[in-house]
Chains A and B, each alone.
Chain A
Amino acid sequence: MSQRSITGAMLLVLAAAAGCKHQPATASAAKPTATGAAIVESSGGKQLGPTGTTLKDPIIVQVNDDQGTALPGALVQFHGPAGVHFEPAEQITDSSGQATATVTLGTIAGRYQLTATTPGKSQPATVQLTEIALGYQQQLGFVLADKYCNRCHDPESSAERVSNYDNLEVKPHPFTEGDTYNKMSDADLLAITQHGGPALNRSALMPPYANTLSPSDLQAILAFIRVVSDPPYRPAGTVYAQK
């Protein structure tokens, strides 16, 4: 119990230090004119960004009425863990029923669950969005994976880069596929990246990188794979044994 209170106190200190100073206490001028039934994500979830930075795209949510049509004039509030900053944190949906906020991630690397809430008729409706903050090593892994690996591992093509995924007889998995990667140990992931598919009796279409990337680069890619996997990666034997 006492641990909890200390934790709570520290969280408060942190929040006071990190977040609140920047939160301007502006009451939104407009008053809500409508009450929605549901709230859904339009875009902006599942983005990656370095810790503490503003995500490239804003998050956009839409409030619907009970017919499922977009509802202008409804109140939307954004919430997130300590250190996350929304601009603006509270607003009224626009003429297309949408609310848009830019998100600045907190200073701790990892997964951030954000919620958008609208009051609703009987009880509040909420929607959750997940964003990922990258620490130094994960950010390095992101850059390296983008250069060396994603041409095969990411089925999506961009204007600058055509994906090679469709050309491969054996299909690799996108690094976000937690169902595949969470089952593999760190040692196995490193082994296949260092020595190629045959190291794990897999296809030689997966090339070896032991002589191309340094050990710290390989660790960085591993850290990146672990932080982006969905469902989230939980290392075996987590030591946090709550009483």
Chain B
Amino acid sequence: MQTLKKYLVTAWQTLFGGPIRAFGVVSVILMLALAIAPAKDHFSQWHGYQRGYLKLIADRSDALSLRRRVIPGLHQIWLPELGVVDRCTTCHEGLKEATLADVPYQPFRKHPAIPHSLENYGCVTCHRGQGPATTVIEAHHSDRAGEDPILPARYIQSGCGQCHQNSLTGTPQLNRGRDTLASYGCVRCHAVNLPGGATITPTDNPPSLVHLADKTTREWVFSWIKDPQAYAASATMPNYKLSDADASDISAFLISSSTPNPGDTATLVTASAKPIDPSAGASLYGESFCATCHAVTNAAGNLVGGNIGPELTRIGNKAKPEWLQAWLNDPRSYDPASPMPHYRFTPQQVATLSQFLLAKSDSDFGANVHLDPATPAQITHGRKLVAELGCAACHQINGVNKPQNYAPDLSRIGSKPLTQLVFLPGMDQTLSTYISAKIKQPRAFGPGLKMPQFTLSNAQNDALTTALLSLSDRSHALPAKLRVTAVPDTTYQPAGHAGKLMTELACFSCHRINGRGSDLAPDLTWEGSAVQRQWLDSFLKNPNTLRPALIRRMPRFNLSDADRKELTDYIMVAYQSPTIDPDTAPSATNPPATVEHGRQLFYSKYACQSCHIADVKTDKGYIGPTLTQVGSRLTPAWIYAWLKNPQALRTGTLEPNQNIGDDDARALTAFLMTLKSSGKQEKK
């Protein structure tokens, strides 16, 4: 104590011992205080980066021009409309310098090329983070309430999705995420309202369960709801992790609530009692191009086929024979909205195909399932579970209403405040990690949570997270003029008997017409202008494939002559393009010299043989349709218009627009019109 006192007294004496000495010391303190502000500036982090930038460019050959564009001090991009106050360019000084594309570290590397400018969109619009901050930590990693940290680069496409609701070529991950929201039916439980009010239409086609007992057994239902992917690896239905008792009760209720559908149980009357040729099933399955929509796991363990309809690897375990026959006979009698065509199979064909399909079974699947007859208590409990689990959000079920707002609204999930989230121990406390983990293992977040377990690849998980992150507060707050909406499908429905036929044949499951339908097969909006009537008629009778390399092909429907004529007439009349004028187009027959000139153009100037086959003896091109009979198939008016601008007739077609002039197009049309089918080939 004593020593301290002595020490303090001496210090006082030394500093303020006399007036002059005291004045000097006070002045020094004052000067130091005045120097704090400039020193703080000088030693600030961003100042350090700016000095670093100057050093970096000093060593480069274009140092002078780089130097000229350096602006010292804080930079700011201020865009009130977008809510952007970004000072990021204070440190990220080289973002626009093309020659700095090779700097292997940040913050000085050039920004990769994107379609938008920094000045008009700022940085945080896509990257998130705190634009006004002036330190690295605050700008990138702020986790204070309500503040967004930088978005991990893997989800950057979510930035695009805030304005672009349409599918962009450059954002495959975002597009895939949105498709997954639709194809896994996420939007059936979760409301997702895009900015501007559009919604996402589910595309997963969950079957109605009102006649379930006609189709399958309670044992199959039990095994399926226990583990859908054990039945079909590609199934999109999630796993609810049900106990045996609960699965048993749910299956009891679903079977008991099912009402019979007249027709499902009718026995098939085969005209001739011919025995079924066992090999005929496989070829009928192939000829009918079932694999265009349905997949089967082959011997090598690969899933082969389309995903429009359910996987059929173990269909024999599921389908009751009578039901399968009734379904093959006419899918719409069981499910009026089915995307499957009514093939008009003969009873013999139905028997053949159903026998072939029923053989696709797996003796291990459901082998140990033995259920005692259902008790009323089980059925009551099953109904309760079905209501609680929200089964009716996807499936139509007798006696259970579709739940409203079953799961949380996701319209702004991309900006959900961290304070409203519960994280798992050890997890990074960011929104993107939360969303990703929640999709991956929803039940890990606490007991009693209802969201089921989906089977998704890591890429699907990332894609979904990207799509959800795009549903941000910012996306809703952006000026409406920046919004690019997706063009929704129209509700186009062809009229009359032809319209009814087109519904039955499910043309829209593959073709697009007047803005409705799928793009598996060519758009038919202007098919009437494109093809010759006789060709269309014979094609509908017996579709031979036009593109040898295609895996998905047009199936053959057993249309009656009258129905086929009706359909042909309708297509020829209703699907005419207003821009194709048969009167001014080249005629179908031309002088040999013109034809020869066209041939030369075809093989030399335009080298069409690189993609097409006009003569099977010499040509090998395998990308576009075979043209050996094109003169019997297409109209000269269509060929001429197509050559001049293919994309004008079908957006996005692969055929390059070669800017072919009038004369060349006429000569090429003349040559192509000479490529006719011989009568013999026509009939095959």
A binds B: yes
**Which one of B106, B607, B609, B611 contacts A14 once the chains associate, using CB atoms below 8 Å?**
B106
The yes or no answer to B482 lying at the interface (CB within 8 A) is no
Nearest CB of chain A from residue B110's CB, rounded to whole Å: 10
B551, A159: Cβ atoms closer than 8 Å: yes
Contact across chains for A54 and B462 when beta carbons are under 8 A apart = yes
B3 within 8 A of A: no
User: Is B268 among interface residues, defined by CB-CB distance under 8 A?
Assistant: no
- A12 CB, min distance to chain B CBs, angstroms: 10
Contact A242 B55 (CB under 8 A): no
Q: How many Å lie between the Cα of A22 and that of B621 in the bound state? A: 51
Contact of A17 among B102, B141, B169, B611 (CB under 8 A): B141
Bound-state Cα–Cα, A136 to B604, Å: 37
> Which B residues from 119 to 174 make CB contacts under 8 A with A?
136, 140-141, 152-157, 169-170, 172-173
List the B side residues contacting A223 at CB < 8 Å. Answer: 113
Assess whether A152 is interfacial by the CB under 8 Å rule: yes
Expressed in whole angstroms, the Cα–Cα distance for A3 and B609 within the complex equals 59
Does A164 contact B112, Cβ atoms closer than 8 Å? no
| B420 close to A (CB within 8 Å) | no
A224 to chain B, nearest CB (A): 11
**CA of A17 to CA of B173 in the docked complex: distance in angstroms?**
25
Q: At the interface, yes or no: B654 with Cβ under 8 Å from chain A?
A: yes
Q: Which of B89-118 contact A (CB under 8 A)?
A: 99, 102, 104-107, 109, 112-115
Given the known inter-chain contacts A208-B658, A208-B659, A243-B59, please indicate yes or no for A10 contacting B607, CB distance below 8 A.
no
Interface readout for B297-333 with A: 1 if CB under 8 Å, 0 if not? 0000000100000000000000000000000000000
Q: Is the CB of B112 within 8 A of A135?
A: yes
Residue in B55, B60, B109, B462 whose beta carbon sits within 8 Å of that of A108 in the complex? B109
Please determine whether A136 and B113 come into contact, CB atoms closer than 8 angstroms.
Answer: yes
Q: A13 and B136: CB pair below 8 A?
A: yes
**Are A10 and B610 neighbours in the complex by a CB distance under 8 Å?**
no
Cβ proximity bits A181-212 to B, threshold 8 Å, 1 near / 0 not: 00000000000000011000001111111111
Is A104 a contact partner of B113 (Cβ separation < 8 A)? Answer: no
Q: Which chain A residues in 8-22 approach chain B with CB under 8 Å?
A: 10-11, 13-14, 17, 21-22
A56 contacts which chain B residues (CB < 8 A)? 459
**Considering only CB atoms, which chain B residue lies closest to A166 in the complex?**
B620
The residue that A139 contacts in the complex, of B56, B140, B172, B606, with Cβ under 8 A, is B172
Shortest CB-to-CB span from B136 to chain A, Å, is 7
- A109 vs B109: C-alpha distance in the bound complex, in angstroms? 11
The distance in angstroms between the C-alpha atoms of A7 and B55, with both chains bound, is 10
Expressed in whole angstroms, the Cα–Cα distance for A207 and B551 within the complex equals: 25
CB nearest neighbor in A for B620: A167
- From B62, B152, B173, B428, contact of A239 by CB (8 A): B62
Main secondary structure of the interface of B (DSSP, over half): loop
CA gap between A212 and B654 in the complex, in Å: 9
Please determine whether A205 and B607 come into contact, CB atoms closer than 8 angstroms.
Answer: yes
Contact among B109, B140, B551, B604 for A160, CB-based, below 8 A = B551
- Interface pair B656/A209, CB less than 8 Å apart: yes
Q: How far is the CB of A207 from chain B (nearest CB, A)?
A: 5
Given contacts A108-B104, A139-B170, A208-B656, contact A152 B610 (CB under 8 A): yes
Which of chain B's residues 256-284 have a Cβ closer than 8 Å to chain A?
Answer: none
- Chain B's interface size range is 35 or more
Best-surrounded residue of A14, A212, A242 (most CB of chain B within 10 A): A212
A206-222 Cβ-contact flags toward B at 8 Å (1 or 0): 11111110001101100
Residue of A6, A14, A223 with most chain B CB atoms under a 10 A cut-off: A6
CA of A135 to CA of B604, assembled, Å: 38
Please give me the residue from chain B that is nearest to A146 by CB atom: B172
- B571 to nearest A CB, angstroms? 28
Shortest CB distance B180–A (Å): 16
How many angstroms between the C-alpha atoms of A152 and B609 in the bound complex? 12
Tell me the nearest residue of chain B to A2, going by C-beta: B55
Judging by beta carbons under 8 Å apart, are A203 and B607 in contact? yes
- Asked if A240 and B654 sit within 8 Å, CB to CB, the answer is no
B623 beta carbon closer than 8 Å to chain A: yes
**Whose C-beta in chain A lies nearest to the C-beta of B99?**
A239
Which B residues lie within 8 Å of A2 (CB)?
55
B549, A161: Cβ atoms under 8 Å?
A: yes
* B428 CB, nearest partner CB in chain A, Å: 7
Map CB proximity to B onto A94-125 as digits: 1 under 8 Å, 0 otherwise.
00000000101001110000000000000000
B112–A7 CB distance below 8 A: no
Q: Let me know if A211 and B658 touch, CB within 8 A.
A: yes
**Interface residue from B107, B113, B549, B611 paired with A137 (Cβ < 8 Å):** B113
Bound CA–CA A210/B656 (angstroms): 9
Q: Are B656 and A211 in contact (CB under 8 A)?
A: yes
Q: Name, among B48, B60, B99, B170, the residue most crowded by chain A CB atoms within 10 Å (CB to CB).
A: B170
Residues A212 and B647 in contact, CB atoms below 8 Å apart: yes
Top 4 nearest A-B pairs by Cβ distance? A52-B153, A135-B112, A167-B620, A140-B170
Interface residues of A (CB under 8 A from B): 2-3, 6-7, 10-11, 13-14, 17, 21-22, 50-54, 56, 81-82, 102, 104, 107-109, 135-140, 143-144, 147-148, 151-152, 159-162, 164, 166-168, 196-197, 203-212, 216-217, 219-220, 223, 238-243
Complex A-B: 5 CB contacts under 8 Å: A50-B156, A52-B155, A137-B112, A164-B610, A166-B620
